[in-house]
Amino acid sequence: MRVLLLNAGSSSLKCTLVESEGAEVLARAKADWAGAVSRYEREGPGDARVAEDVSFRRAGDAARRALDDFGLTPSAVGHRIVHGGSFTHAVRITDSVRSHIAQLSELAPLHNPPGLEALAAAEELLPDVPHVAVFDTAFHQTLPPEAFTYPLPRTWLRNWNIRRYGFHGLSHEYAAKRTAEMLARPVEELRTVVCHLGHGCSATAVLGGRSVDTTMGFTPLDGLMMATRSGSVDPGIIAYVERQHDLDAIEIERTLNHDAGLVGVSEVSADMREVLAARAAGHERARLAVDVYAHRVRQAIGALAVTLGGIDALAFTGGVGEHAAEVRALACRGLGCLGLVLDERANASCHPDADIATRGSRGRILVIESREDLAMLVEVMEVVGGQA
């Protein structure tokens, strides 16, 4: 079976056409509008390669372009949906499933709407094939109550389904399994912290292949500092700016989602590459932004390692995690107390998948290519099997 996998993020869309047997990639495309200019790249089918600046900045337009370029009809389509609420596994998309995803858009305003846009475009062009929703929250359904429960009134928790859901589950699950492969150890015996660092960022404690704690929470706004999102902040700040500076809830939410994080602190860009370039040129706000970003990653690694009772491996993945050696180096400062010692030379020159810890490091530090598409493929095939 040919399976088309659509991965809509907050600032990008990845499209991968895969042969289910052997997971052979037939074609892939990516549209990225994190920076000032939208970029579109495609490889395949065959030897075809495209790289160009484009005008579109929406997931639906990107999906239409990629499907037109691929020119091959898949047997099934898998869609990454960031917030799945109570869904614990992938499901075939129906009207009720689509409606539920739309209702959750309020909790994932940067993610579920683009996912729905890509879904609408794909259903329009491919109306006769099964479409499957694969949820980024599903991997975190194994969180124990002490990890997913917020210290809030029980009526809030019970009546409004408020809990820690966690996100980036596909990436965390794949990276944890790939870590075990690289270390030639069973995933069931490993204590792993995975840091998914991209436009969105989160870290997860994986014990024996299962998520037991994670930094993102009720929404993808929680946790680590991100490209445009604040991550965790004192909730008293929200009450303060609302009460003392006449900001309403809608404006506060928009600011925390779109104008905070890297772009807010640096006042340079939401793109880590541009912020690092400004830092190297002596831009003080860019320097501070990267330092705050790395500080929060380092804090999360330490907290999650304690949750695990120790750490066997630390894995970096995602666009920043895979390609920003300077960020990895800053995040790993001081981790020797956990038995994690970075090899500076290996870190500076590595290409995923790689081990960048020193030979004598008790725990391993890995850089792993994010392959959410492979995790998606497994789940799509479990839903459609040979029935498509």
Residue 69 annotated among the catalytic residues of the structure = no
Alpha-carbon distance of 350 to 325, in angstroms, equals: 8
Give Cα 1 to chain centroid, integer Å: 27
- Cα 165 to Cα 342: distance, rounded to the nearest angstrom: 31
Buried b (16+ CB within 10 A) or exposed e, 104-141: bbebbbbbbbbbbbbbebbbeebeebbbbbbbbbbbbb
324's CB contacts (< 8 A; 6+ apart) are: 197, 272, 273, 276
End-to-end CA distance of the chain: 8
**Phi/psi at 333 (5° precision):** -60, 130
The one-letter code for the residue type at 79 is: H
Question: DSSP states of 71-108 as a string?
Answer: ----SEEEEEES--TT--S-EE--HHHHHHHHHGGGTS
Catalytic residue among 32, 47, 61, 136: 136
Residue 340 has what DSSP assignment?
B
Report the C-alpha gap between 80 and 136 in whole angstroms.
Answer: 7
The catalytic site residues sit at 136
